[in-house]
């Protein structure tokens, strides 16, 4: 058979395709959607909480031995060369902050126990820090607030950083020891555990964009190795804790930030494909298939199986889904579609993506906790809509396909240190005045209470 190619037509088609066509993404007809009827019954079977991380709320003045301390002292690492200082001074104000959490109607709180506070020098435990966390957890329990604890939320002791952190497989042992120590002390009080927060963003920021310590850029190979080591660390922590007293009743989750990337124009697609793969799909595929394949799409010879563990799914009792949005690459930069509204971060509000992410992680057949969801909105003019629409999307997932969601944690209680952006990003339900430490509930945040009602009410 002879193949006739009409070059003129093909060329015209290519010009049309490349120049005009924006690639679409799912969009619901929000004008005809009523979010006011959405309610979640909270009980010990469905938690409603807020989430934070120690460094972000207590700063390096309270955590002087963390790797964030020397990092933020380097010029240019944080917006406007800010230093975190005491941040919101949660370390000393936790009691009144827990009262605020209770006042929002929450029955849960996700927080981190900071490794650098517990083990400021290698092998040396700060007993005052251990007591401090007992006090924090006890204050929560007294108020009927269930703790969910993260053991690595991007930050670790500086001594661990100097040993090469998760770049070296042999260093994993130090992290496992720390986790086992904390579990031994707190396993009777805390049943929900998140060993590692978001392996992918940690790797992206530390080894590709350079926004987090160790500040390496475009080190794709190292990023792959670190991610592999984090997956191994998760499994080892899981197995170690499960074998300890209270291990059986503990629920230990794998915390994934579901961050999808799409191209707006056909020429934006390759960048989106690279980021989607590195940030999202590689890890989801790993959970599904047991094979962590490292590759940089479009770059030949980069595809390599870095790690295999067919049993990984058995190393998690739940999946912790952190979902904020989906990033649209538009003309080589983060953007959005014309009908959409950007948040203060480089992505739009996109509840449809939340629904799709819940659907995607549901296939693992594990209970789901929404371990983070929230909006950076300094003007407070998009927060209310964001909350209403995302909670609508979550409810829809529970109704449409029976998504097994066991709890929802809003990020976050009060404005804090948003990593490289310092205090410039405003994710708080409460506005923080960093001089007076006054917290003020934002107008746009008030609606969140209406969605969560105690089961008995």
Residue ranges in contact with ligand BGC by CB under 6 A: 53, 56, 197-198, 201, 257, 322, 372, 411, 418, 427
Provide the minimum distance between the beta carbon of 50 and ligand BGC in the complex, in angstroms, as a whole number: 12
DSSP codes, 410-436: ES-SB----GGGGGGS---SEEE-TTT
Provide the minimum distance between the beta carbon of 368 and ligand BGC in the complex, in angstroms, as a whole number: 17
Asked if residues 184 and 244 have their Cβ atoms less than 8 Å apart, the reply is yes
Provide the minimum distance between the beta carbon of 418 and ligand BGC in the complex, in angstroms, as a whole number: 5
Which residue, 80 or 249, has its beta carbon nearer to ligand BGC?
80
Which residue, 116 or 322, has its beta carbon nearer to ligand BGC?
322
How far apart are the C-alpha atoms of 234 and 255, rounded to whole Å?
10
Taking the CA atoms of residue 280, residue 362, residue 231 and residue 256 in that order, the dihedral angle to the nearest 10 degrees is: 50
Residue nearest to ligand BGC (CB): 257
Which residue, 257 or 315, has its beta carbon nearer to ligand BGC?
257
Which residue, 293 or 316, has its beta carbon nearer to ligand BGC?
316
Provide the minimum distance between the beta carbon of 53 and ligand BGC in the complex, in angstroms, as a whole number: 5
Taking the CA atoms of residue 434, residue 89, residue 415 and residue 394 in that order, the dihedral angle to the nearest 10 degrees is: -170
Q: Is 332 left (phi over 0), alpha (psi -120 to 50) or beta?
A: left
- CA 320-27-374 angle, 5° bins: 35
Which residue, 273 or 418, has its beta carbon nearer to ligand BGC?
418
CA neighbor of 52 nearest in space, from 150, 129, 136, 118:
150
Which residue, 53 or 287, has its beta carbon nearer to ligand BGC?
53
Which residue, 235 or 322, has its beta carbon nearer to ligand BGC?
322
How far apart are the C-alpha atoms of 415 and 426, rounded to whole Å?
5
Asked if residues 149 and 114 have their Cβ atoms less than 8 Å apart, the reply is no
Provide the minimum distance between the beta carbon of 322 and ligand BGC in the complex, in angstroms, as a whole number: 6
Give kind and range of the element (H or E) at residue 180: helix 172-186
Provide the minimum distance between the beta carbon of 192 and ligand BGC in the complex, in angstroms, as a whole number: 16
CA neighbor of 340 nearest in space, from 20, 17, 28, 18:
28
Give kind and range of the element (H or E) at residue 19: helix 7-20
Which residue, 427 or 434, has its beta carbon nearer to ligand BGC?
427
Provide the minimum distance between the beta carbon of 154 and ligand BGC in the complex, in angstroms, as a whole number: 6
Asked if residues 260 and 327 have their Cβ atoms less than 8 Å apart, the reply is yes
Provide the minimum distance between the beta carbon of 376 and ligand BGC in the complex, in angstroms, as a whole number: 7
Note the Cα 371 to chain centre separation in Å: 7
Which residue, 235 or 416, has its beta carbon nearer to ligand BGC?
416
Provide the minimum distance between the beta carbon of 127 and ligand BGC in the complex, in angstroms, as a whole number: 28
């Amino acid at each position: 058979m002879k193949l006739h190619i009409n070059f003129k037509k093909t060329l015209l088609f290519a010009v049309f395709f490349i120049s005009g066509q924006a690639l679409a993404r799912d969009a619901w007809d929000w004008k005809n959607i009523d979010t006011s009827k959405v309610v979640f019954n909270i009980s010990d079977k469905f938690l409603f909480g807020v989430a934070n991380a120690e460094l972000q709320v207590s700063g390096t003045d309270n955590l002087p031995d963390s790797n964030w301390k020397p990092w933020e002292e380097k010029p240019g690492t944080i917006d406007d060369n800010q230093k975190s200082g005491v941040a919101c001074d949660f370390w000393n104000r936790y009691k009144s902050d827990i009262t605020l959490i209770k006042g929002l109607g929450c029955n849960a709180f996700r927080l981190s126990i900071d490794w650098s506070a517990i083990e400021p020098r290698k092998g040396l435990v700060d007993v005052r820090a251990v007591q401090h966390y007992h006090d924090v957890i006890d204050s929560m329990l007294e108020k009927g607030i269930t703790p969910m604890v993260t053991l690595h939320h991007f930050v670790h002791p500086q001594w661990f950083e100097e040993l090469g952190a998760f770049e070296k497989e042999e260093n994993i042992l130090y992290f496992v020891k720390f986790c086992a120590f904390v579990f031994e002390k707190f396993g009777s009080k805390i049943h929900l555990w998140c060993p590692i927060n978001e392996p992918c963003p940690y790797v992206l920021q530390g080894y590709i964009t350079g926004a987090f310590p160790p500040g390496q850029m475009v080190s794709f190979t190292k990023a792959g190795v670190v991610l592999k080591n984090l997956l191994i660390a998760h499994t080892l922590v899981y197995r170690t804790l499960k074998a300890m007293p209270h291990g059986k009743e503990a629920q230990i989750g794998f915390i994934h930030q579901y961050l999808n990337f799409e191209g707006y124009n056909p020429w934006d697609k390759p960048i989106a494909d690279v980021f989607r793969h590195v940030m999202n799909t590689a890890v989801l595929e790993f959970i599904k298939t047991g094979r962590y394949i490292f590759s940089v799409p479009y770059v030949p010879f980069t595809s390599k199986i870095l790690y295999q563990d067919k049993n990984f799914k058995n190393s998690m009792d739940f999946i912790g889904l952190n979902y904020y949005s989906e990033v649209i690459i538009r003309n080589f930069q983060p953007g959005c579609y014309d009908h959409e509204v950007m948040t203060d971060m480089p992505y739009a509000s996109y509840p449809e993506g939340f629904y799709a992410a819940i659907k995607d992680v549901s296939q693992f057949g594990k209970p789901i906790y929404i371990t983070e969801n929230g909006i950076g909105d300094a003007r407070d003019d998009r927060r209310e809509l964001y909350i209403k629409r995302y909670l609508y999307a979550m409810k829809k997932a529970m109704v449409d396909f029976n998504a097994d969601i066991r709890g929802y944690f809003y990020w976050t209680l009060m404005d804090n240190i948003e990593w490289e952006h310092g205090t410039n990003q405003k994710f708080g339900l409460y506005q923080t005045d960093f001089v007076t430490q006054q917290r003020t509930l934002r107008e746009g945040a008030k609606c969140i209470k209406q969605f969560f009602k105690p089961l008995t009410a």
